[in-house]
């Protein structure tokens, strides 16, 4: 059945050369754990992407139940965790995955730095990777407020105070992000939700696409 569907699609779109080009792409010997024990450090990038996919899928599930306003945010999270089938598991995956993806991305960045993989001709890819790192941090920051509990509220207030301390533009930047220069409230949670679900993922997808295109074009960096 699957073969017939594939043949039907392939006859019209000629997809075989596309996936064969990916599947037949040779992997350098130094990243093969069977030949080099140190090759496991090259897995950090792939593991980071794997956790990112889990974050995206679990986040899509959470948005089907989450209500981004101060009256219903906490109740919607409580309902999801206690009354939706597998809701507690999915939320737990998203919660712990938010920390795990930062850890994996940090390890991947250390590998690239200490092995000199950021040098010519991969300087631009290093810049893209650093931008991805900042996007991930911003995703963690904006997502932290969404459960709307006391810990998230006070942590966000501290974050807003840090942003406000930026010279010259601090107050304006805080107002732009939080929706108010005075309080963390309804506008803040709405804006954080929009930034977390729409703006940052769009930037992340664009950067990841550029990252993978450059990796494919330049190849995996050589050993130390």
Q: Give whichever of 153-162, 176-185, 201-210 has the largest mean pLDDT.
A: 201-210
To the nearest whole percent, how much of the chain has pLDDT over 70?
A: 96
Question: What's the pLDDT score for residue 85?
Answer: 95
Residue 37's pLDDT is: 59
Angle between helices 87-114 and 123-145 (to 10 degrees): 150
What pLDDT, on a 0 to 100 scale, did the predictor assign at position 126?
96
Write down the pLDDT at residue 220: 81
Query: Could you tell me what percentage of the chain is helix, strand and coil, using 3-state DSSP and rounding each to the nearest 5?
Result: 75, 0, 25
Report residue 46 as tokens: 């792939």
| pLDDT on residue 35 | 63
Q: Other C-beta atoms within 10 Å of 74: how many?
A: 16
What's the pLDDT band for 209 if we cut at 50, 70, 90? very high
Q: What burial class does residue 180 get, using C-beta atoms within 10 Å of its C-beta: 0-12 exposed, 13-18 middle, 19+ buried?
A: middle
- Can you give the pTM of this predicted structure? 0.90
pLDDT tens digits along 24-82 = 777 777 777 666 656 788 889 999 999 999 999 999 999 999 999 999 999 999 999 99
Q: What is the mean pLDDT of residues 168-188?
A: 88
What is the distance between the alpha carbons of residues 49 and 51, in angstroms, rounded to a whole number?
5
Mean pLDDT of 117-145: 95
pLDDT of residue 129: 97
Residue 219's SS3 state is coil
Question: What is residue 54's predicted lDDT score, i.e. its pLDDT?
Answer: 97
Q: Report the distance separating Cα 214 and Cα 219, nearest Å.
A: 8
Q: Hey, what domains does the chain have and what are their CATH numbers?
A: 25-115+123-218 (1.20.810.10)
pLDDT in tens, 84-125: 999 999 999 999 999 999 999 999 999 999 989 999 899 999
């Amino acid at each position: 059945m699957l073969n017939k569907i594939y043949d039907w699609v392939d006859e019209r779109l000629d997809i075989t050369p596309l996936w064969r080009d990916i599947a037949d792409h040779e992997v350098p010997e130094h990243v093969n754990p069977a030949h080099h024990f140190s090759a496991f450090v090259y897995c950090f990038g792939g593991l980071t992407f794997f956790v990112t996919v889990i974050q995206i899928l679990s986040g899509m599930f959470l948005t089907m139940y989450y209500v981004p306003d101060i009256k219903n945010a906490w109740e919607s999270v409580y309902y999801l965790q206690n009354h939706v089938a597998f809701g507690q598991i999915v939320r737990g995956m998203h919660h712990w995955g938010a920390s795990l993806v930062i850890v994996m991305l940090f390890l991947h960045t250390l590998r690239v730095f200490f092995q000199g993989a950021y040098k010519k001709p991969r300087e631009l890819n290093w810049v893209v990777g650093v931008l991805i790192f900042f996007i991930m941090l911003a995703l963690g920051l904006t997502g932290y407020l969404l459960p709307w509990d006391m810990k998230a509220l006070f942590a966000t207030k501290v974050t807003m105070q840090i942003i406000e301390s930026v010279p010259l533009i601090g107050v304006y930047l805080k107002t732009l992000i939080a929706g108010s220069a005075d309080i963390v409230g309804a506008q803040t949670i709405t804006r954080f939700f929009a930034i977390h679900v729409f703006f940052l993922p769009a930037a992340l997808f664009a950067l990841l696409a550029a990252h993978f295109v450059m990796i494919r074009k330049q190849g995996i960096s050589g050993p130390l």
